[in-house]
Amino acid sequence: MSETTEFKDVYEAIASVSPNRQNILYTVLEEDAFGEKAFFSDDKLVWESTKGGFFSQNQEEVGKLHDSGQATAAGKKLFCDCLGGEKRLVICGGGHVSMPVIQLGAAAARPVTLRANTLKATAEDIAAALDAAGIAHNPVAWYPDAFILPEAQVSDLWDLDIYRDGKIYLQSLSSMMPPLVLGAQAGEDILDMCAAPGGKTTQIAALTQGQAHLTACEMSIPRAEKLEANLGRQGAKNVPVMRIDARELDEFFRFDRILLDAPCTGTGTVISDNEKSLRGLTEQLLNKCARSQRALLDRALGALKPGGTLVYSTCSILPQENEDALQEALDKHMDCELIPLDGTPSESEARRAQEAGKEPRIESNALTEAIAAGHVSSVANGMPGTLTIPPSRDFEGFYIALIRKRS
C-alpha cells in the first residue's frame, strides 16, 4: 500500500506529522483536475484526494512550491497553504463541493463584529452602551467605528437600545472593507450594485453622512424589501432602491463611484468543521457565478463616469471569480485601469511620473494602510495590485480590487 492511501482523510494525514516540518496543503484551481487536493510534508506527498491524480503525476514539481498563495505547477494554477506553527485556519479547497476549511487544533468561530451607525450615534456612544451592558469589546485599529466582541453572542445584543434603534449594524470586518476602499464623498453619484441586505449601502450612507447621491440595486424582491427595511432602520434617507437585474442597468445611468460586491460561491466564508457551509459548493455553482460576475463587471465599467472608480469584491478566494474575471473586463474596457492596492503606482501614474522626472504618487486608503501597519494580511494571487485576504480568526476570506475609468 502506498503512503498516500494510509490515511482516510486529510485531517488524519495532517495530524500524523510534526508541525515543525514544512507542511503544505495544495488545491488545483482549474481545468480537468479542478478541486483535487494534496498534503505534502517536507516536499513528500503524504495524502491526495484523487489517488494517482495530478499530484502523484507532478509530485516533484509541486514539492518545490513553498509559499502560501497562488502558484503554478505543470501548467495549472494551485492554491498553496503552509501549515504548522501557531494554530490557525487553513484553506484546503478551490471551490469544489468538498472545499473545507479546517483548523489545526480546536475549531474556531469568528467573533461578533459590528460598527457604529454614525447617522445615529458615535463610536463613543456605542462603547459606553456596551460597557453599561457588561459586554467586552475591542477596537478595530483600521476602522474607529468598528468593534470586535470577543466573548458575546449576537443574541446578547437583541435587547439593547442601540440594537433596536438601529445605532449599530452587525457586520463582518471583511464586509466593512469595500466601502472604505470606495472612498465615497458627499455630493457624488454612488451605486451599490448588488446591495441587499444593506450592510455596505448603509455604511456608505454613514461614511458620507447621508450627503452622497446613493442608489442601491437589488433584483430579488424579498431581498430588496429587506434592504429597504434596513435602510429605514439605520436612518439612511433618500436612497432609492432599484428592483432590477444590475446586469441590465439602463445605459442612461452614470456614476462617480460603484461598489460591486458580486454574488459568488462564498468560498472565503467557510468556517472550520461546518458541514452546512460546504453544502452546494459545486463546479456548476462556480460556473454560474463566474458568468454573472463577468456580466456585472462589464455593465459596471460601462456605467462609470470618466474619472470614476469601481470597487470589485467577492467573498471568494477563487481566481475564476476574481482576477480572471477582472482581467477579462479590463481587456474589454481599455479606458479603465487597475489602481493597485499593494503600494505600487498605477500604469498611468508611473508614466506621468517618469515623464515629469518625479516620484510616482501612491494612492492609499484604509485597506492599504491596514496592511502596511500589519493589521491585515494578504496572500499573492494571479493579478498584482489586487488583494486576496485569507480566512482567519477575525476575517472571512475575500478578494478586492480598485479600478478607475480614465478621464
Phi/psi region, residue 307 (left: phi>0; alpha: psi -120 to 50; beta: rest), is: left
Q: What is the reported pLDDT for 278?
A: 57
Q: Evaluate whether 290 touches 321 at the Cβ level (below 8 Å).
A: yes
- 302 lies in the same domain as 241: yes
Active site amino acids: 315
Q: What is the CA radius of gyration of the chain?
A: 22
- 139 lies in the same domain as 64: no
Question: Nearest 5°: phi and psi at 399?
Answer: -125, 145
- 126 lies in the same domain as 59: no
- Please state, in angstroms and as integers, the Cα–Cα distance from residue 214 to each residue in 157, 190, 236, 258, 310, following that order: 29, 5, 10, 10, 14
Q: What is the reported pLDDT for 92?
A: 37
- 180 lies in the same domain as 44: no
Question: Nearest 5°: phi and psi at 20?
Answer: -85, -5
Tell me the pLDDT band of 96, cut-offs 50, 70 and 90. Answer: very low
Q: Which of 120-129, 243-252, 274-283 has the lowest mean pLDDT?
A: 274-283
Q: Is residue 233 part of a domain?
A: yes
Q: Is residue 101 part of a domain?
A: no
Q: What is the reported pLDDT for 275?
A: 53
Buried b (16+ CB within 10 A) or exposed e, 93-103: bbbbebbbbbb
Q: What is the mean pLDDT of the chain?
A: 85
Number of domains in the chain: 3
3-state secondary structure the chain: CCHHHCCCCHHHHHHCCCCCCCEEEEEECCHHHCCCEEEEECCEEEEECCCCCHHHHCHHHHCCCCCCEEEEECCEEEEEEEECCCCCEEECCCCCCCCCEEECCCCCCCCEEEEECCCCCCHHHHHHHHHHCCCCCEECCCCCCEEEECCCCHHHHCCCHHHHCCCEEECCHHHHHHHHHHCCCCCCEEEECCCCCCHHHHHHHHHCCCCCEEEEECCCHHHHHHHHHHHHHCCCCCCCEECCCHHHCCCCCCEEEEEEECCCCCCCCCCCCCHHHHCCCCHHHHHHHHHHHHHHHHHHHHCEEEEEEEEEEECCCCHHHCHHHHHHHHHHCCCEEECCCCCCCCHHHHHHHHHHCCCCCCCCCHHHHHHHCCCCCCEECCCCCCEEECCCCCCCCEEEEEEEECC
Q: Evaluate whether 21 touches 84 at the Cβ level (below 8 Å).
A: yes
What pTM, to 2 d.p., does this model score?
0.76
Q: How large is the average pLDDT for residues 100-111?
A: 44
Tell me the pLDDT band of 31, cut-offs 50, 70 and 90. Answer: low
Comparing 7 with 103, the larger pLDDT belongs to 7
Q: Is residue 105 part of a domain?
A: no
Q: What is the sign of the dihedral through the CA atoms of 180, 184, 186 and 189?
A: negative
377, three cell numbers: 494580511
Question: Which residue, of 85, 120, 136, is where some domain finishes?
Answer: 85
- 233 lies in the same domain as 285: yes
CATH number for 152? 3.30.70.1170
Comparing 271 with 132, the larger pLDDT belongs to 132
| Residue 320 structural domain | 174-405
Query: Is pLDDT at 87 greater than 50 in this prediction?
Result: no
Q: What is the reported pLDDT for 276?
A: 55
Q: What is the reported pLDDT for 341?
A: 92
- 153 lies in the same domain as 280: no
Q: How large is the average pLDDT for residues 221-232?
A: 94
Query: Is pLDDT at 102 greater than 60 in this prediction?
Result: no
Distance separating alpha carbons of residues 241 and 116, to the nearest angstrom: 23
Q: Which of 125-134, 212-221, 266-275, 357-366 has the lowest mean pLDDT?
A: 266-275
- 154 lies in the same domain as 209: no
Q: Is residue 97 part of a domain?
A: no
Q: Is residue 25 part of a domain?
A: yes
- 164 lies in the same domain as 182: no
Question: Which residue, of 156, 171, 186, is where some domain finishes?
Answer: 171
- 184 lies in the same domain as 226: yes
258, three cell numbers: 460603484
- 129 lies in the same domain as 229: no
Question: Which residue, of 130, 155, 171, is where some domain finishes?
Answer: 171
- 166 lies in the same domain as 256: no
Q: Is residue 58 part of a domain?
A: yes
Name 258's bridge partners: 191, 310
